[in-house]
Amino acid sequence: MKQRLKTVMGDAKIWSRICGFFVPAVFPPVHIGILYYFWHKYSRHVDRHYCSCSCWDTVFKGTYETGIASYKHVYFNATSNSLKMWVLTVLCVLVLYECVRHLVSLALARSLRPSMLLLFASSLFAHYYSWWAYFNYWNDDFYSQWDHQLFFSLTEACSTALVVDLADSRTRVTPRKALGITGIALLHVLAAGWDQFVENVVQGRGFSHQVIRDVCFMVPDVLHVCVPLVLLLRSRQDAAGCLFDADVRRELTAVAALVVIGLYVSSFL
């Protein structure tokens, strides 16, 4: 029996690590594939024999290749922004790996809340978009949207931290955690309501890729508003507790204040 348990636990660790590796590995190819579908008409043929990298500082090649270099599949300049892009990428991949590995381990142990798995999966696009935005801000030296994006990235990270915590079915669903997720999502919905979603989707002024992007932001936010409320309601009913007791009212007040302050801050970003 002990030997079988060790085998099961060993298989669980292997599968959790495989899934943890697979999710970060597949995102960029899927992303580039989608971009190619929408933007392939802007692509151009490159003759690799005659193409050159004239803006490349050649530091990482050193004596092997200096001056104007020949065609490279990937090349980078030895700058502080390159370092920032690399550190950010490593950090994001490691965090995503650990989150996926943790969720798969919970699933294999039959301790995973499906509702939280749904919320986590729906938030992946927003986190990936954040990484891609910062990568391009540093790569292009274009920072006009930095503060605006940072606001959404930080609040999204807080929400996902709560989701991952509640993904363990053994963790008690508290009003603070459930309403915290709902409040952040509601803030995103309202902020997007007077931002790009209305113009691009509701009014139909956006390009196809902008409409899909904004829908992929809005649908997860709506889920993050509704699912935690349902989960909290069920937990209160199971515990035979009052839905609007002092704890819930206190957290609702805090969430309302969070939304108002967040909307005020986002209006200046």
CA distance 128 to 95: 12
* Secondary element (H or E) of residue 265: helix 246-266
147-163 mean pLDDT: 95
Question: pTM for the complete prediction?
Answer: 0.86
> 3-state DSSP: the chain helix, strand, coil percent, rounded to 5?
75, 0, 25
Dihedral angle computed from the Cα positions of residues 229, 149, 24 and 12, in that order, rounded to the nearest 10 degrees = -30
Structure tokens at 24: 């970060």
pLDDT higher than 70, residue 244: no
Structure confidence at residue 198 as a pLDDT band (50, 70, 90): confident
Q: Check residue 138 and give its pLDDT.
A: 96
pLDDT in the model for residue 180: 94
Residue pointed to by tokens 């910062």? 134
Give the tokens for residue 157: 């990270």
Residue pointed to by tokens 């997720």: 181
What's the rounded Cα separation, in Å, for the pair 36 and 209? 11
Domain extents in the chain: 2-44+80-266
- Residue 231 pLDDT more than 70? yes
Long-range contacts of 143-146 (CB under 8 A, 24+ apart): none
Instruction: Please give the sequence-ordered ranges of beta strands (E in DSSP) within 19-137, or none if there are none.
Output: 52-53, 69-70
